[in-house]
Amino acid sequence: MFNLKNKVAVVTGGAGHIGFSISEALAEAGAEVFITSRNQDKSESAARELEKTSGEKVKGVTMDIESYDSIKNCLNQIQSESGKIDVLVNNASSLPVGKMQDISDNDWKKGIDGTINAVFRCTKLVTPIMEKTGAGSIVNISSIYGSVSPDPSIYQITGYDSPPHYGAGKAAIQQFTRYAACHLAQKGIRVNSVSPGAFPKPEIQKNEEFINNLKKKIPLDRIGQPYELKGVIVFLASQASSYVTGQNIHVDGGWTAL
């Protein structure tokens, strides 16, 4: 049920901190994986590494999630090469940083464009490709900050913060997931979202004060590791979740259960 052999999967931002584990999970399950990134060298390097370790076909391709034409050209290229697309993981995001009082109106717009608008574009453009086979699974990467507000006490004087457009965009992804699931169900396309909790990048993990603040919010008393997203991704991509659509799954060590 969890086997993705003979499936074609696309992961936007598939060479990043979380994206690489997502790509790895799909390849380990047997899928042919296309890793997309604005940076061709980055996506190709990640693809070569995964192809060696997984033994499956993995390819790096260029896609700019802020460009409708770039997304369309990339997906059409993948379809032309592999004949279909069975799985799309909308993982990539692009947004400026800053606190609510500091970000400009233009930064707000860029943040929304780099989250929900990007997911909308990719979903819209992959739908006719999936329609041709009458099946598909779309997995949107949201965040717990699409469900709850960041706790300002976590950040304090650590120098970090979560910009307001991040949570707003991620919340919109959850709602769009429900909308798309209902409107694409008759086409055989399932749409779900995953909301990771605290999965800070390695450089951020060096800040012990910040990490300790994060742990106080997590019943499991530790931050998440990217590999811990693998199971839920393969579940939603595969036939193991054939009757699951329109759902948002938190992977957060219990954060949102408090």
User: 218, 197 in Cβ contact below 8 A?
Assistant: yes
User: What tokens were used for 38?
Assistant: 């604005």
Nearest in space to 142 (alpha carbons), one of 177, 88, 193: 193
Question: End-to-end CA distance of the chain, in Å?
Answer: 33
Q: How many CB atoms lie within 10 A of CB 37?
A: 26
Q: State the Cα–Cα distance between residues 38 and 155, nearest whole angstrom.
A: 30
Active site residue 166: yes
161 Ramachandran zone, left/alpha/beta (phi>0; psi -120 to 50): beta
Residue 240 has φ and ψ, to the nearest 5°, of -60, -25
> Catalytic: which of 145, 166, 179, 243?
166
Q: How many CB atoms lie within 10 A of CB 66?
A: 16
The bridge status of strand 87-90 relative to strand 8-12 is parallel
User: What tokens were used for 146?
Assistant: 């699409």
Catalytic residue numbers, as ranges: 166
